[in-house]
């Protein structure tokens, strides 16, 4: 669970830093990619219900939070 959240956090932070435009799009792209990866993992390997819920609910809010927290590149 911690690795999924950390992956979304670090990935969206890197996407925001590398973005030449507003960081929301790249951060959401990373969040969606993490969400899809989590869904595939949950489908292939049984997990507890709390872990499935948290894994599906956290990546997008973490990506959005990073997009708002980090300034745009060059500003």
User: Residues 4-34: pLDDT tens digits?
Assistant: 888 888 888 888 888 877 778 888 888 889 8
pTM: 0.76
User: Residues 48-66: pLDDT tens digits?
Assistant: 999 889 888 888 888 888 7
> 3, 12, 1: which is closest to 60 by C-alpha?
12
- The terminus-to-terminus CA distance of the chain in angstroms comes to 34
Domain definitions of the chain by residue range = 26-69
CA 28 to chain centre: 7
């Amino acid at each position: 669970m911690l690795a999924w959240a950390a992956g979304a956090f670090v990935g969206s932070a890197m996407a925001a830093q590398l973005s030449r435009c507003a960081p929301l799009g790249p951060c959401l792209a990373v969040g969606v990619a993490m969400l899809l990866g989590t869904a595939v993992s949950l489908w292939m390997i049984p997990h507890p219900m709390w872990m499935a819920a948290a894994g599906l609910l956290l990546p997008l809010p973490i990506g959005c939070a990073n997009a708002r927290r980090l300034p745009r590149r060059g500003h």
